[in-house]
Chain A
Amino acid sequence: MTGAGGQLAPNVVHFARALRAAGLPVGTGRVKDALDAVGEVGLEREDFYWALHATLVSRAEHRPVFDEAFRLFWRSPGAPAAPAPSGSPEAARPAERDRAAVTRRVAEALAGLRPPPASARGRIEIDALLAWSDREALRNRDFEQMTAEELREAERSISALRLPVRDVPTRRLAPDPRGDRIDPRATLRAAMRAGSAAIPLRFRSAARRPPAVVLLCDVSGSMSRYARILLRFAHALARDRPHVHAFAFGTRLTPVTRWLRHRDPDQALAAIGRAVKDWDGGTRIGACLREFNLAWSRRLLAQGAVVLLVTDGLDRDDARGLAAETARLRRSCRRLVWLNPLLRWAGFEPRAAGIRAMLPNVDEFRPVHDLESLAQLARAIGGGERGGM
């Protein structure tokens, strides 16, 4: 750092700490990069902004947080101001409404900075606090009310359940004595060891991995009991394999993946309960699927994900746009499985408009009403190719 004045370096460090408190993964290495970068571009307002941006941001969703923090932190007279906001496409889309939450989150991170450092634990608490205050304005709902003793028992057994999801083949090859392709590298090594006229062939075949699973869970009034169970199921899945994502929807779509990372299922569900604001309300399946298709499907479904759509298909929107959105969803994923608890009644007939709109556009239609059907579901994920049930 040359010619930058004595105050700049501590300020950049302080700013980085504020970002960390606001939830950005800013390590010491990055702070050093930021100082080097500022030393290169100097204090010209716009370059200063983008130099810090290039070194301290690494994910598109952190950009609004960074922008807000920069605005709040460097607003003292003479300090560089942020250039005109250049929102990412997401920011212009549904994420726009999170803007207020971002501001508050950053403001709290800045305020909470003294005394530093803010630990990871503090960060979680800030988030939880925000979710709580946001929630109060909306429907006030006690998560515990619907918890009957049997339900608890069932939940406990889900956590204990072994959920063997069937692996799917990848395009990568791995050594396999019963494989169908020759492994030249291993063959050559074997040939050298053998050293005789015959070259013993070694084989390989496609490596396998568990498929990504995306759970879209209806949490409207008619579904709330099953929603809780299915989210518990998602938690159990996420516990021992990567790439499990979950969304709750009623009148709007809420991503809940990050709360599945809580090790304790009760804590995870409680956090989800606080985050989801339309629990027990109506359903707008078409609108929610559309939001998923627009904002999330490209990011989550590209690697051949299996989508589990949990809903009873009772749509308050008269199934508007539902068929088209379900079809679009099916075209972007490996397999679309509809889990419908209503299916347990033998006399079930697809009479509601929503059900009739969705039914032709899913790959598979399964019941989920007891533990046995959940265990079967886990085995079925990844199995079956498109077209065959």
Chain B
Amino acid sequence: MTPRPLPDSVEAVIALLGEGEYVADRSLATALFLSLRLNRPLFLEGEAGVGKTEVAKVLARTLRRRLIRLQCYEGLDLASAAYEWNYPRQMLEIRIAEAAHEVDRSRIEHDLFSERFLVKRPLLQALEPDPAGPPVLLIDELDRTDEPFEAYLLEVLSDFQVTVPEIGPVTAAAPPLVIITSNRTREIHDALKRRCFYAWIDYPDAARELAILRVRVPGAAERLSREVVAFVQKLRAHDLFKLPGVTETIDWTQALLALDRTSLDPETVEATLGVLLKYQDDIARVRGAEAQAILREVQGAAAP
């Protein structure tokens, strides 16, 4: 596999993502193009289920690069994000040194903290040279971790290096393509955002959502896809606790396809509402009269 050259225009980015079955809008493509071109991390924000993580996956696939994913969670620390020492092996090494009557402390120490005993985690892996070209580093849901970790990322994102105190700084020969996502459950510090280019991924408009469905659920009948998109678009105008994202639209269409439906009908909508809405309050609010009203509206408008 030879590495593919990076896209050289916004159109090329749209085409590249299109190859990976990702229908990108102009704002995202421009931001992504700039971040590839100027070697800066891309910071993606948006509601859950609009396809933030997918960008990185598709990018890695279409560029034929390795995807290194760092899933963030509360309490994420250096040992799981950057590196850790292989303690059992180090302990063993001490024993061996003792058995061999090695007395030179500094030499033991030097041996113990060498790369041989280093366990590399995603951030350090992303800095290693790769024959297929620099990997895509996905730092997913950064908002789930805490401020100390964010602060640590500053060094990684601005200089593309990780400092291991016992060894020294490890710098990437070629910087990885970094994509950071956030669901905005809290604001990320400006110091980190300043090092990135920013893009907000919105819910798609009807035309783009339909295009996405055509690519992602090609088996669905045209009428079904149209009705699903119209239904979801109308639903997003409602006052719900969690609006359905594109992921939910795709899931719902697949569910309807599995049920052999070629268009929406009241019973099916009732029965499958749980695929679309994930909160009991929201389902209770929409189920029944509300859903039927939307459905009538959708089918009234769709009828020729």
| Chain A residues in the interface with B (C-beta under 8 A) | 25, 27, 29-30, 33, 36-37, 40-41, 46-47, 50-51, 53-55, 57-60, 63, 83, 86-89, 92, 170-173, 184-185, 187-188, 191-192, 195, 197, 199, 293-294, 298-300, 302-303, 324, 328
Contacts and interface: CB of A to CB of B under 8 A. Distances in A.
13 contacts: A41-B33, A41-B34, A54-B199, A58-B190, A58-B194, A58-B198, A89-B202, A89-B203, A171-B75, A184-B85, A197-B98, A302-B186, A328-B281
Contact of B38 (A36, A171, A185): A36
Interface residues of B, number: 52
A30 B187 CA distance: 19
Contacts of B196: 58
Contact of B197 (A54, A185, A187, A197): A54
Contacts of A89: 47, 202-203, 243
A60 B43 contact: no
Given A89-B203, A300-B186, A54 B105 contact: no
A59 B87 contact: no
Interface in B1-57: 10, 26-27, 30-31, 33-35, 37-38, 40, 43, 45, 47
Given A170-B74, A170-B146, A185-B85, A54 B198 contact: yes
B75 A47 contact: no
Given A58-B190, A58-B194, A184 B87 contact: yes
Nearest to B10: A47
Contacts of B190: 25, 58
B171 interface: no
A51 B34 contact: yes
B94 A37 contact: no
| From B33, B35, B200, B281, residue with most partner A Cβ within 10 Å | B200
B184 interface: yes
Contacts of A197: 98
B186 A172 contact: no
Contacts of A298: 183-185
Contact of A192 (B108, B198, B199, B200): B108
A133 B243 CA distance: 35
A40 B33 contact: yes
B74 A171 contact: yes
A55 to B, nearest CB: 6
Q: Is the interface of A mostly helix, strand, loop or mixed?
A: helix
A60 B85 CA distance: 39
Nearest to A37: B34
Nearest to A91: B202
A99 B192 CA distance: 28
A334 B148 CA distance: 21
A63 to B, nearest CB: 6
A184 B109 CA distance: 15
- Kindly list the 5 A-B residue pairs having the minimum CB-CB distance in the complex, ordered from nearest: A171-B75, A302-B185, A50-B30, A54-B31, A58-B193
A136 B36 CA distance: 50
Nearest to B75: A171
Contacts of A30: 194
Contacts of B183: 298
A192 B10 contact: no
A173 B202 CA distance: 37
Contact of A55 (B34, B75, B90, B200): B34
Nearest to B196: A58
Contacts of B91: 188, 191, 199
A104 B150 CA distance: 35
A30 to B, nearest CB: 7
B143 interface: yes
